Amino acid sequence: MISAKGIFFNGNNTWKLLRTNSSDQPLVVQLFGTDPSTLREAVHVLREAGHGWFDLNMGCSVPKVLRQGAGAALLKDVGHAVSIARAMLDAAGRGRVGFKLRLVDDGLGNSSAMDDLCLGLADAGAGWLTLHPRTARQGFGGEARWERIAHLVSLVDVPVLASGDLFTALDGRRCLAETGAAGLMYARGALRDPAVFGDHLALEQGLPAPPKTLASIARMIRRHMDLAIEHGDGDASLLKMRCVIPRYLHGIAGAKRLRVDICRCRTWPELEALVTDFFRHGESLAQRPSPGAARRDPWTETAPSG
């Protein structure tokens, strides 16, 4: 998620966030901001730098983003949000900008404002819409209202991507079946298990998802560490890995102590030693249901085991 102001004022830290390589394509740059002219100029600059696809975050509920009038705060003013969309599409080209949304919180549970916004974005030339069907006030509380995604699919003539409570590939398959969405955005599920994309592809091909084992999780962590060392910023990357690895340990018996030790380590060799020692003496991988597992599963009889 990139600040349009950071691009506009040519901030070094902003451009660091945009570092990529030729194999990371197609790439969509997600921007946040609140001023149409700033967002238009940011897209122009990014186009000149070689980027071709963009997304506007109108779903972020983080207080410091909301205080700027950005993120989910844009949902309060349909006219302003659509004017931003038109500015970005003017710079990028019709169909080259998507919009990430949450439910409009009008306090009454009505959907008319949400419908007006989505129809306005589609009419402006949006390439796709992504809906996380919770309000900003909810954050990640409660259950994502997938029926609102299905409603949006029936409302607009642009592709709709689904988000919310997608913790496993089976969650993703259920969501597609229940909503008719054109695709998915795995978010928290991918942060906990990047293998969710491969699992999803396997299920789509009629194959069982590869089983999760201590060895596979250890390989994933070491691969992430190698990439962080190669492409990251030294100590800053180490601090990030101290936050990332605990997510990967979800469901592993005895992982609490490793989480504590990781938060104290100060060097890459120390982190590597902690991970190696833990997985050498690892106990077991507990099979815990995902938070979305209570939903009705239309694939129960047909989905491959595993």
The catalytic site residues sit at 60
Alpha-carbon separation of residue 143 from 89, 124, 150, 166, 297 (angstroms):
33, 31, 15, 11, 15
Q: Tokens at residue 2, please?
A: 């990139």
- State the amino acid at position 300 in one-letter form: T
Alpha-carbon separation of residue 110 from 80, 156, 195 (angstroms):
20, 18, 37
Residue for token pair 């994933």: 220
CA distance 258 to 74: 41
CA distance 32 to 71: 6
Ramachandran category for residue 33: left, alpha or beta (phi over 0 → left; psi -120 to 50 → alpha): left
- State the amino acid at position 85 in one-letter form: A
3-class SS of residue 212 = coil
Spatial contact of 149 and 162, defined as CB atoms under 8 Å apart? yes
